[in-house]
Amino acid sequence: MSLPILYIKPGCPWCDDVVEALERLRIEVKTVVVSGNPEAMREMIALSQQTKAPTMDWHGDVLADFGVEELMPFLRQRGLP
C-alpha cells in the first residue's frame, strides 16, 4: 500500500509541528511541498476544496488545515498511537 500524503508549505508552523509529530511517532508519509508547485497545489485543492496546509490524504480520507490537536484523533481512528 502506498504511503499517506502530507501536503505542506515551507515556513508554515502548523506544517512543521505536524511533520515533527509524525516523525516522533515514526509514521511514514510522502511529503509534498505545494508552494511553487502548481500541480501539487491543484491536487491538494481537488482533495480538500481549499488552499490551506497542512492537508493529509490518508488513502482517501482527507484531513485539511489542521494542527497536531486534530492529527492525533485522526491517527487514532486509523489504529495508530
> Rounded to two decimals, what is the model's pTM?
0.95
Give the other-Cβ count within 10 Å of 31's Cβ.
Answer: 15
Classify 5-66 by CATH class: alpha beta
Query: What are 14-63's pLDDT values in tens digits?
Result: 999 999 999 999 999 999 999 999 999 999 999 999 999 999 999 999 99
Q: What is the per-residue pLDDT for 81?
A: 79
Q: What is the per-residue pLDDT for 12?
A: 97
Give the chain's mean pLDDT. 96
> What burial class does residue 39 get, using C-beta atoms within 10 Å of its C-beta: 0-12 exposed, 13-18 middle, 19+ buried?
exposed
